[in-house]
Chain A
Amino acid sequence: MSNAILVMGGGFAGITAAIEAAELGHDVYIVEKSPWLGGRVAQLNKYFPKFCPPSCGLEIQFQRIRKNPRVKFFTLAEVVGLSGYKGDYTAKIRLMPRRTAHHNVDFTLLASALTGETDNEFDFGLSKRKALYKSMPFAFPDRYALDAQSLSKSDTALVAEAKFVEPAEEPREVVLNAGVVVVATGWKPYDVTRLTNLGAGAVENCISNMQLERLASPFGPTQGKIVRPSDNRAPTNIAFVQCAGSRDQNHLNYCSYICCMATFKQCLYLLEQNPNVRITVYYIDLRAPGRYVNMLEKVRAQPNVSFIKGKVADVVQAEGDRVTLVAEDAVRGEKLILTYDLAVLATGMQPSLAAGKPALPLSLDEDGFVAGGEESGIFAAGCARMPLDVTRTARSGTAAALKAVQTVKGR
């Protein structure tokens, strides 16, 4: 029997659930797959509702974790087995090696001396990173990670001589005891390579909305300057393709709730950088839930942003690495074939669990969202349960914490 709470996922939902439960006096374990906490929010330039940079909201949460000895977290970790029952779960956690020392070491010099490079997944392939890396300046824990596979031959020699690096560190497994589990495994952007008619990710300067977030981020591949990936030139004519793979039974059969808002936000990024930029948003329906309608009105009032009702169903490469979109303006009944400097696919959120069910007693719906499981003390929070914005994610984290606490207390 245990009063501890296991939280799978160290994104906004997981962190919130963990802190809320810990502040009520429970021991909490966060198990995060990547080397740092913060999840998808850390990848954004700004987030709703107040357009804060992620460092802002996350920093408060990280402070709360630092100050609370009841929160313990594992990074580069995954729950590989869960047995037991409500009130007494035993979780097997696999810890992948970080290969760097346990304290904060500034590896800037060593990292820049390395030659081996690999695609930076944090920037969705828009940049390269070294084998020794830290994806964001506000990283928590503030430690580098060493990805031994990306080391070049000369790198291996350099790293072998370096202090505070352990290239030979092996994976380990630990076993934790917890009363309940909070599943906050979050989401991933829908895989654009599956959108065959939208270029399948092979069309130059046709990027996803998350890639645009990275381009707009001051810590991103272009230090916040929104440019075309092919030639680093600022685009003047941009199109947003809404519902790229969403509300589509061939892809994600649901509305991801936030992509319309993300597009409005990104329209403002673009206008902020160049007021003369021309933007066209192709949509089926514009969804601005609740108070977000103000945001819709704000963007709609911009003279340089136009909206066309009609889903883009064909994306092809045009001359000069431009992008041609084909859509029917359903209001006027005209097929439009227009070419843009940059096209942004507003892809939806797919639950991380959809990729392949982990070896855990979780019940998922057909889209991969967690459905049910509360009777056995497993509570879902954040986008593992449904597509949400950050505000609602935080709320769902708190809600899961409350349920978790009540469950272990009520025993």
Chain B
Amino acid sequence: MVQYTLKPDMNFVQDLQEAGGNNLKRCFQCATCSVACPLAPTNAPYPRKEMVWASWGLKDRLMRDADLWLCHNCGNCSDLCPRGARPADMMAAARDMIYKDLTTFSVVGKWMSKASGLPWLFLVPAVIWFVIWAIRAVCKGSWFPRAADGRIVFGEIFYGDYTIDPIFIITFFGACFILYRGARKLWEMFKPEGELLVVGKQKFWICYLVSVLMDEVVTHRKFDDCEDGPVTGKVVPNRKFGHAALVYSFTILAFVTAVVALGHWGGKIIPTIEIQTPMPLTFPIKILANIGALLLLCGLGALTWRRLSLSRSNHASGFYDWYLLGILWLVAATGILSQYFRLADALQPAFVLYYFHLVFVWMLFAYLPWSKLGHFVYRTAALVYVRMYGRS
């Protein structure tokens, strides 16, 4: 018989407990959770095995476990758990620890892991945008300048070409790069030790990505599958509507942003496709943007209501959960309000809210790889990996 010596990492257990898995030691390995989970496959189902890894401090096993990402956190396991060990919260906490430690700039990961890091997270963009505001105020001779025709134009202070665009382009591509690095690292972690021998024809990973997107992301099928577990006798609202609304709104808003950027910068080369901002309310792109914003609010409302109505004893909500919902609310609220004040011709509130809007949007994008929103890359990577190589 092969003998293993387990090397428990007790600090890891403690970290995991602090991150939201505080009841994990109550687990007595009855395996109810693996049955409660409608997504867990028959071969090496989760989360029972993850619970014992967590309890024994097997950090390596847990961190490189693709199953962590196959879990969509419906909470059936926590509802049926006879000890109140809350496996779903442990899985979420383990994912949070991956957000925290996976990529470089670990100081951001540390800030992002606790509410006490929030001031720092806020201060970075607040200072950047304030400096820009101050410089432009000196140039314009006023903190709240009006355009030549008397309208409120945010570009007077936060001039697109020199301020917003470069900063956001750097932020966006920087975040993309860090996410890419993170996903690559996660991918390597998923691979079992030694050589991975693939028998048969293997398609390019993009093919698997497309099938994940078409089969799971577009349809949000897993959220319905989550409902197929044993009857828990407890009502936990489905997240499908709220989550889908958010995903679609993000897609729309990303498309709108891309079109506007293309129209703006492309317009400098081909004048016929130029788009001027602010766009009139009847402009198709503006209409699409406002539909996206409305969808964002609906999705956010649904998800926030759901989280608030969860039974606290079975489903804890951590800082990662509230940070993401909070930042989205702030982005949406400041965006809508600044537009409202601009149209209502309230000069000072419009600029102040627009400033906060920029701060929160920057926070959303710049910290994305360390926040819960990173799941859209990491989980997708795991889903693609599992389609490509199966689970190890």
Contacts and interface: CB of A to CB of B under 8 A. Distances in A.
Interface of A: 194, 196-197, 200, 243, 247-251, 284-285, 309-314, 326-330, 333-337
B41 A335 contact: yes
A180 to B, nearest CB: 38
B43 A197 contact: no
Contacts of A194: 233
7 contacts: A194-B233, A200-B231, A311-B82, A327-B35, A330-B31, A330-B48, A333-B49
B44 A333 contact: yes
A356 to B, nearest CB: 21
B45 interface: yes
Chain B interface main SS type: loop
B231 A197 contact: yes
Interface in B152-207: none
Nearest to A247: B82
Nearest to B42: A335
Interface residues of B, number: 26
B105 to A, nearest CB: 37
B221 interface: no
A314 B48 contact: no
A250 B82 contact: yes
A334 B36 contact: no
B28 interface: yes
Interface in B22-41: 28-36, 40-41
B289 interface: no
Interface of B: 28-36, 40-45, 48-49, 80, 82-84, 229-233
A310 B230 contact: no
Contacts of A310: 30-31, 34
Contacts of A249: 82-84
Centre residue among A250, A284, A327, A336 by max chain B CB count within 10 A: A250
A314 B30 contact: no
Nearest to B49: A333
Given A196-B231, A197-B231, A250-B82, A311 B32 contact: yes
Given A196-B231, A314-B229, A335 B30 contact: no
A196 B36 CA distance: 12
A410 to B, nearest CB: 44
B232 A197 contact: yes
A335 B67 CA distance: 15
Contacts of B41: 335
Given A196-B231, A197-B230, A248-B82, A313 B45 contact: no
Contacts of A250: 80, 82
Contacts of A196: 230-233
A250 B29 CA distance: 17
Contacts of B49: 333
A399 to B, nearest CB: 32
Contacts of A251: 82
A326 B230 contact: yes
A126 B133 CA distance: 81
B40 A335 contact: yes
A334 to B, nearest CB: 6
B45 A311 contact: no
A243 B35 contact: no
A327 B80 CA distance: 13
Contacts of B84: 249
Contacts of B82: 243, 247-251, 311
Contacts of A328: 31, 34-35, 45, 48
- For the complex of A and B, 5 pairs with smallest distance between CB atoms: A248-B82, A196-B233, A313-B35, A197-B230, A314-B230
Contacts of B229: 314
Nearest to B40: A335
A91 B80 CA distance: 43
Contacts of A243: 30, 82
Given A200-B231, A249-B82, A335 B45 contact: yes
A314 B35 contact: yes
A328 B36 CA distance: 10
A337 B31 contact: no
Nearest to A253: B82
A336 B40 CA distance: 12
Given A247-B30, A284-B30, 19 more contacts: A196-B233, A200-B231, A243-B30, A247-B28, A248-B82, A251-B82, A310-B31, A311-B82, A313-B31, A313-B35, A313-B230, A314-B230, A326-B230, A328-B34, A329-B31, A330-B34, A334-B45, A335-B45, A337-B42
Nearest to A200: B231
Contacts of B83: 247-249
